[in-house]
Structure 1
Amino acid sequence: MLPSSPRDRDSWDDDVSREIARAAPARSSSGFYAGAPEKDPVTVRPIEDEDEDHDEEIPVAPVRRQLSVAIAGFSALLGAGLILGAQTSGPDARLPYAIVLFGVQLLYILAFTMAVRPPAAGTVAGVCVVAAAAADRLAVTSEPAALLPLVYVLAAAYAAALVGQTIRAADRARLRDSLGGTFLVVLGVVSFALPIVLTRKPVGTQALLVCLTAVGVSLLVAHLTDAVWPKPRIAAQVPRGAAGIIAGAMLGTLAAAGLGSVLVLPFTPAKGAVLGLVVAVIAGLVDLAVNYSEAGRSMAGEAPTLWVARHMQGPLGAFALSLPATYALTVLYLA
């Protein structure tokens, strides 16, 4: 029953407030109400980087000095053979040069078929041997000397290689992934017939001398430098140094400029340097790409390529893929 007078109401409110304050739980010094169970403080643990436990030290591929010297020697011998064959190839003496080039083409087929490992590798190799013989014959006998017959051989050989890869179901399953590799094999084989075509053009023999010298010097210097000072390493898994590749390109360009200064017109030191720079850079990149592809196979756990084919692949690919650039520069830049 509520009190009627105002004074009684105020006294009653004070009594009620005291009762409520007495009944309410007091707060402790920790900030919790007295009587309430205090929770254990949460311990914050630093999050450890789980990747640190899974990081593995990348092994550094060793540089074998004797092997680098051997590859440099093979590059020099290959370049010297191609240059001497071009210089001694006359109107009635192109067949011996074609035979030499056919031997180089067989080495290229062996090295790149074993390295690229396309589906139906035996069929691809057989097609490439036929394409090499046909390209060399057309380069010697076609009138006038032109690039178009070799383009026809390239297209026909590539189509035949692809058809041969569709016969078996296991080969068809890998066909899409092998298109680029198969084309690389066929292109290099047909490209080795280009020196014969160039020797039949007015300044083609001199252009071959300049460009093949630049490629040979570039590869020779690059691998000899790797044998002495393979630094800075481009990648831990690739046994090559950037110093050798850069020095090779520079000295290859210098050698081409020197030849351009002693050859007759239209050659000049500047034009020789342009030709040498283009082919030397192409050769160095192709040679380096071969090392990268071999390192990729090793990291993937695949069986390595046969050691003879593996070490010949870089120089052979460098010379083969620099020949189309040599032909283009001769026809478009020197003409």
Structure 2
Amino acid sequence: MFPSSTPDTGRDPWPDQSPGGPPSAPRPGDDEERAERGGPRRARRDGEPARRPPAEPGDEKGEEVTPPVEVRRPLALSVAGFAALLGTGLVLAAQTSGPGHRLPFTIVVLSVQLLSVLAWTMAARPPALAVVAAVSAVAAVTADTLAVQTDVARLMPLVQVLLVGLVAAVLGQLVRRVDRVRVTDSLRGTALIVAGVVAFGTLIVLSRIPAGTQTMTVCLTAAGVALTVARATDAFAAWPRLAPQVPRGAAGVVGGAMVGTLVSALLGSYLVTPFTPTRAAIMGLVAAVAAVLADLAVGYAEAGRLMAGEQPTMWVARHMQGPLAGFALAAPAAYAMCKLVL
């Protein structure tokens, strides 16, 4: 008995074959269309990625170039003037310090510390801002008091104040749930605020060391000149740009450090032993480089906050924090140079 249907029953017809009929003849335009599509189609094996047609030159889009931030000349000159005034005030106040007569210099240092607390907290806006500001102010007063009243002039009491203040600031941020979420992200900013405030107390300790006042004169002058020259240079020639989002140039940073070192070497030639132009140049170089790098780091931090979408607040405080950070880092650098070089 033969089957009622042929073996080909149930099979799908070929693409070019109509069901139940002979294969259709190729159409006239099939060969040209296949040639335009890149030749005959090849069967793809299992696991082999599909080929993509090559992109045409017109489809490639160039990377979007971010326009650099505009350098505002009046603002740069204003910051340079503030750095010059701050450095002059600290240097002149250091000359009034003497055995049994350190209150005027301490008041000046405390004023700078409170100004730093205002500028840094309003610019960074850490969680529990009022708590961080209060802890930093208390740490400043405690550090200055210990720097004046300890029997031996040393930095260990200031380090202890720094650790206690940092722990107190973090614990204050953990009280509320809203602030607790941001503690990890803002830990570095909180530590820099407390550390920067306590660092100014190093100047009071330095004033109690032999040749400490002269060291402050050399290092603070170098830092002030470096910051002033760097900002003034950016007002006229912010080139080459270090980053498109930061309105600073390498010429100002390098030139400020060089001019600050030169001024410190000139001061060393007028000071008495153990100061020499070489020693003063080394001390001034370290202080100037520390100051301009701290100022530059503040600019990068501010640009990062703006790129993250944070709204800027109190533009005066934001632009004061650069010179304040520069002198805050120059203070412990001056203390280290006094111990290592002299």
Q: Is this a same-fold pair by TM over 0.5?
A: yes
Task: Give the superposition deviation at 1:206.
Answer: 0.8
Is the CA contact (8 Å cut-off) linking 2:219 and 2:287 kept in structure 1? yes
Q: Which residue of 2 aligns with 1:43?
A: 37
Mapping for residues 56-75 of structure 1, pairs under 5 Å: 56-75=64-83
Q: Within the alignment, does 1:210 sit opposite 2:204 as a pair?
A: no
Task: Give the superposition deviation at 1:50.
Answer: 9.8
Between the aligned partners of 1:178 and 1:172, the Cα distance in structure 2 is 10
Q: Which residue of 2 aligns with 1:95?
A: 103
Is the CA contact (8 Å cut-off) linking 2:136 and 2:165 kept in structure 1? yes
Q: Which has the larger radius of gyration?
A: 1
Between the aligned partners of 1:48 and 1:205, the Cα distance in structure 2 is 71
Q: Which residue of 1 aligns with 2:89?
A: 81
Counterpart of 1:140 in structure 2: which amino acid? V
Q: How many residues are treated as equivalent by the alignment?
A: 300
Q: Within the alignment, does 1:325 sit opposite 2:333 as a pair?
A: yes
Between the aligned partners of 1:299 and 1:165, the Cα distance in structure 2 is 24
CA deviation map 1:29-71 (0-9, x unaligned): xxxxxx7776421435641589954743312211111111111
Between the aligned partners of 1:48 and 1:198, the Cα distance in structure 2 is 69
Task: Give the superposition deviation at 1:157.
Answer: 0.7
Residue of structure 1 aligned with 2:289, choices 263, 281, 284: 281
Between the aligned partners of 1:66 and 1:184, the Cα distance in structure 2 is 28
CA deviation map 1:232-259 (0-9, x unaligned): 2112221111111111010011111111
Residue of structure 2 aligned with 1:270, choices 267, 278, 291: 278
Counterpart of 2:182 in structure 1: which amino acid? R
Mapping for residues 126-275 of structure 1, pairs under 5 Å: 126-275=134-283
Between the aligned partners of 1:88 and 1:235, the Cα distance in structure 2 is 42
Task: Give the superposition deviation at 1:300.
Answer: 2.3
CA deviation map 1:181-224 (0-9, x unaligned): 11100111111111111111001111101100110000111111
Between the aligned partners of 2:313 and 2:292, the Cα distance in structure 1 is 21
Counterpart of 2:173 in structure 1: which amino acid? Q
- The verdict on how the C-alpha distance between 1:191 and 1:47 changes in structure 2, with shifts beyond 3 A counting, is same
Is the CA contact (8 Å cut-off) linking 2:269 and 2:277 kept in structure 1? yes
- The verdict on how the C-alpha distance between 1:51 and 1:183 changes in structure 2, with shifts beyond 3 A counting, is farther
Between the aligned partners of 1:51 and 1:127, the Cα distance in structure 2 is 58
Counterpart of 2:142 in structure 1: which amino acid? A
CA deviation map 1:94-136 (0-9, x unaligned): 1111111111111100111122222111101000111111111
Counterpart of 2:280 in structure 1: which amino acid? G
Between the aligned partners of 2:115 and 2:87, the Cα distance in structure 1 is 14
Counterpart of 2:322 in structure 1: which amino acid? G
SS in 2 for 1:262: coil
Between the aligned partners of 2:152 and 2:335, the Cα distance in structure 1 is 15
SS in 1 for 2:247: strand
CA deviation map 1:124-154 (0-9, x unaligned): 1000111111111111111111111111111
Counterpart of 1:41 in structure 2: which amino acid? A
- The verdict on how the C-alpha distance between 1:271 and 1:300 changes in structure 2, with shifts beyond 3 A counting, is same
Counterpart of 2:249 in structure 1: which amino acid? G
Between the aligned partners of 1:51 and 1:107, the Cα distance in structure 2 is 55
RMSD across aligned C-alpha pairs, in angstroms? 1.9
Q: TM-score, normalised by structure 2?
A: 0.83
- The verdict on how the C-alpha distance between 1:50 and 1:316 changes in structure 2, with shifts beyond 3 A counting, is farther
- Taking every aligned residue pair, what percent have the same amino acid on both sides? 57
Q: Within the alignment, does 1:303 sit opposite 2:311 as a pair?
A: yes
Between the aligned partners of 2:143 and 2:56, the Cα distance in structure 1 is 63
SS in 2 for 1:41: helix
Query: What are the ranges of 5 or more consecutive residues in structure 1 without an aligned counterpart?
Result: 1-34
Query: What are the ranges of 5 or more consecutive residues in structure 2 without an aligned counterpart?
Result: 1-24, 39-52
Q: Which residue of 2 aligns with 1:14?
A: none
- The verdict on how the C-alpha distance between 1:197 and 1:52 changes in structure 2, with shifts beyond 3 A counting, is farther
Counterpart of 2:312 in structure 1: which amino acid? P
- The verdict on how the C-alpha distance between 1:265 and 1:54 changes in structure 2, with shifts beyond 3 A counting, is same
